[in-house]
Amino acid sequence: MNTIAWLIAVLLKLIEAGFVLVLLSVLLYILLGADAGPYVGSIVVNLKLLVDAFSPQALIGVAVVLTLGWIAKRPR
């Protein structure tokens, strides 16, 4: 069971690092615009396509679930 708990903890850290990378890329794109580079631009384009694929209600639902998960996970 310790191995499974360790594996879950590592996977959660990797997911958090991925989210931070995406958020930093979006921030960089907001600050620099098209001069941010092709990699950052491709991340923003993919996010735009993902948002366009969802209905507004589904997007709000995902945001609420992610926010509640983040609040529950915070250290108290």
Kindly report the number of other CB atoms within 10 A of residue 3's CB atom. 7
Residue-wise pLDDT for 3-29, tens only, equals: 999 999 999 999 999 999 999 999 999
pLDDT of residue 8: 92
Counting the structural domains of the chain, the total is 1
pTM comes to 0.66
Q: Which domain holds residue 24?
A: 2-73
If you write DSSP's letter for every residue of 12-52 in order, what string do you get? HHHHHHHHHHHHHHHHHHHHHGGGG-HHHHHHHHHHHHHHH
- What lies within 8 Å, CB to CB, of 59 at 6+ separation is 51
Tell me what the mean pLDDT of segment 18-45 comes to: 91
